[in-house]
Amino acid sequence: MVFNNDQQLFSIRTAIWGLLSMGIVVCVLLSIFWDQTSVFFGHEHSTALLVLVFFGGMVSSTTSVVYYPFVATFPPLFTSALSTGEGLSGVIAGVLGIIQDPGATHMHITVGGYFFYGAVVFLVALLAFVFLVKSPWATQIQASMYREDGGDFDYKFTPPLKRAPSPAMKMNETLPLVLPQSKHQFSTAVERRNYVVSKLWKPLLCQVVLCAMSFGVIPSILPFLGSKYSNSAEVLKWSSVLSMACDPLARFLTSFYRWYNVTVLTSLTVLLGALMAVSATTAHPIFSSYALGGIAPVVGNCVFVFLFAYSQTMAYLTLKREVRYNEAYAKTAYQWSGFLAQMGALLGTVIIFPLVTYTTLFQRSYGEL
């Protein structure tokens, strides 16, 4: 965002080529060298694992600022498709987790095998990207006109225009008072950024809040909440697995049903997340005294993930709709939305980490019924 916000160094397509290729290489190397260690200052460290996971994290955290701007040049359905695909990748991880059966005495999938499956996922993504870039069908779809969703818009979008009359026109005193309109030109990257940030701040702010709650707060407090129910291991396992299924389902729903009131959606999501966080601080959360009470946190987490996934995807679609699907502005809006999503995740982590680590707020009666 700092050095390449307007693709002045390399294009979005080049960045995607590099990220997907790096993802494949990192996963393959992890499958081979994950258990290699080095000795520093007399202690053994998993050097290869730490270094390669760092580069894998770079790939993961960068995708939101390049994938979404790329699909911004396609019809809105492609935004829903990308978002759904992201959710489905979590389903794959969940299925592998079920097959692995954590806690079992026998390992069904080796560590190297798990990382190799990750490389396969990246390879499939690379092939899909090749299709979108090279396929005549995708090119035709990208250049096609599509109908906007009906309804009221928050802002009356008018792309800023630059009029550049020739010097001869400036000096001609016989010109009419009303000059003919010059050819429309897109504004600069700075002007697009200023418009997006100043006019479309509501969906961008919703993106920050949603990601702070979903990527920072809830993953940190969920183990504490689940541990206060009987069969806590099963509660956490099914909460994770079922929520992974809810994520792509909610995102897929945006393909044909879109509710553009992102503010209300965000409020509902945050309210449910706050209730879960407060419940994690109590000694006896709701239904914790019942044998099947663990269903409550599982259902709560599934509903939260469903609301989050739908709301986040609708935040992207709202941005695209508000700029009337103007590709230049949609790319800028999507890029900033992806960047702020990462900042939201960081913000949520910074807030919840000291509360979980250095206080007993969530550890009170930990594991007790």
Q: Dig out the tokens for 367 from the structure.
A: 């594991």
* Residue 160 forms part of a structural domain: no
CB 277 within 8 A of CB 219: no
Look at the chain and count its residues. Answer: 369
* CA pair distance 209, 70, nearest whole angstrom: 24
Cα distances (angstroms) measured from residue 164 to each of 94, 189, 194, 327:
57, 18, 22, 22
* Residue 154 forms part of a structural domain: no
Clarify whether residues 102 and 246 are in a common domain. no
Higher pLDDT, 183 or 1: 1
Percentage above 70 pLDDT, the chain: 82
Clarify whether residues 217 and 363 are in a common domain. yes
* CA pair distance 331, 131, nearest whole angstrom: 20
Higher pLDDT, 90 or 249: 249
Strands (E), the chain: 38-40, 43-45
Domain boundary among 147, 173, 202: 147
Which amino acid does the sequence have at 202? K
Clarify whether residues 85 and 225 are in a common domain. no
Clarify whether residues 143 and 217 are in a common domain. no
Clarify whether residues 7 and 132 are in a common domain. yes
Q: What is the pLDDT of residue 61?
A: 79
CB 34 within 8 A of CB 48: yes
Residues 6+ apart with CB under 8 A from 44: 37, 38
Domain boundary among 147, 175, 200: 147
| Residue 365 reports pLDDT greater than 60 | no
* Residue 257 forms part of a structural domain: yes
Cα–Cα nearest to 151, from 274, 27, 324, 296: 324
pLDDT band with cut points at 50, 70 and 90 for residue 265:
very high
CATH number of the domain to which 295 belongs: 1.20.1250
Clarify whether residues 136 and 285 are in a common domain. no
Bin 84: left if φ > 0, else alpha if -120 < ψ < 50, else beta. Answer: alpha
* Residue 181 forms part of a structural domain: no
Bin 144: left if φ > 0, else alpha if -120 < ψ < 50, else beta. Answer: beta
Cα–Cα nearest to 304, from 325, 276, 285: 276
CB 91 within 8 A of CB 242: no
* Residue 168 forms part of a structural domain: no
Computed from CA positions of residues 260, 261, 262, 268, in that sequence, does the dihedral angle turn out positive or negative? negative
CA angle 175, 178, 180 (to 5 degrees): 85
Clarify whether residues 9 and 96 are in a common domain. yes
pLDDT band with cut points at 50, 70 and 90 for residue 320:
confident
Strands 43-45, 38-40: pairing is antiparallel
φ, ψ (nearest 5 deg) of residue 43: -125, 145
> Considering only 38-42, 119-123, 279-283, 355-359, which range has the smallest mean pLDDT?
38-42
Clarify whether residues 221 and 129 are in a common domain. no
* CA pair distance 200, 335, nearest whole angstrom: 13
Domain boundary among 117, 147, 177: 147
- Paired with 43 in beta bridges are 40
Cα distances (angstroms) measured from residue 334 to each of 47, 66, 157, 240, 321:
36, 9, 16, 28, 11
Clarify whether residues 201 and 315 are in a common domain. yes
CB 235 within 8 A of CB 297: yes
* CA pair distance 194, 200, nearest whole angstrom: 10
> Considering only 47-51, 136-140, 170-174, 337-341, which range has the smallest mean pLDDT?
170-174
Highest-confidence segment of 3-7, 11-15, 241-245, 349-353:
349-353
Q: What is the pLDDT of residue 219?
A: 92
CB 365 within 8 A of CB 350: no
Cα–Cα nearest to 340, from 68, 3, 44: 68
Q: Structural domain tally of the chain?
A: 2
* Residue 172 forms part of a structural domain: no
Q: What is the dihedral of CA 36, 53, 233, 298, to 10 degrees?
A: -170
* Residue 335 forms part of a structural domain: yes
Mean pLDDT of the chain: 82
Determine the structural domain holding residue 256 and report its residue range: 188-368
Cα distances (angstroms) measured from residue 87 to each of 82, 163, 166, 345:
9, 45, 52, 17
Cα–Cα nearest to 61, from 288, 317, 344: 344
* Residue 164 forms part of a structural domain: no
